[in-house]
Amino acid sequence: MHYILFDLDGTLIDHFTTIHKSVTYAQRELGLHESDYAKVRATVGGSVPITLSKLCGDDKVTVAEPLFRKHFEEIIFDDVFTLPGADWLLENLKKRGDKLGVFTNKYASHTRSILAHLGLDQWFDVIIGTGDPDCPYRKPDPLFTAHALEQMDCASEEALMIGDSPYDLAAAEAGCIACHLVATGSHSAEELSGCIVSDYIYKDLHELGEKLFGLDRPK
């Protein structure tokens, strides 16, 4: 059995339009310049405070974050969708007997709601996000990775991390976990190649499923 931790945004789902709309809502409310979609997308992965710090300024995070979260919760399901290959990959890994978990900087409550909305929750044994009273951490904090391994009930050498950004790689490295990245999120394959060898980068989940797990691509 494999113990596989998946990042969420940019790895299994596309929620970038919702995030972009929520960022620009906060910027408008604060009288700031509105960031375009590409710029917002490139900042996602490190947590909402880090994204807002980059786009609104360090001094505006404490006032921007409540505005962001208010709007985000109002439109949380409007533009979210499952990335191609996610259902196929998760279903086949579960059929093999692997233990699957989501490991994300997204709020745990939002993560559970989104996974249920998209029908992905059925494949996961563990859902690990931020914001719960017992989990105040964020990637790449080593304590967050340790918490994930504890929740998965496995050792680091038994685990595998699938993500889409350097934050995911850093979180994996913090726990000595092997990591593979897909170029479907905030970073392109070229950008990811600056932090990990190309053999561990895949263009999408279908390629990852075929090359890493030996699965047959659906026809």
| 3 state SS of 32 | coil
If residue 29 lies in a helix (H) or strand (E), which one and from where to where? helix 16-29
Cα–Cα distance between 72 and 64 in angstroms, integer?
12
- Name every residue whose Cβ is closer than 8 Å to that of residue 58 and which is 6 or more positions away in sequence: none
Instruction: Supply the DSSP symbol for 184.
Output: S
Give the list of residues 6+ apart from residue 151 with CB closer than 8 angstroms, or none.
Answer: 101, 126, 128
| Token code pair at residue 137 | 């951490």
| Catalytic annotation present for 87 | no
* Helices 86-96 & 205-213 angle (0-180, nearest 10): 30
Q: Which of 7, 14, 87, 164 is catalytic?
A: 7
- In the DSSP assignment, the letter for residue 84 is T
Q: Report the catalytic residues.
A: 7
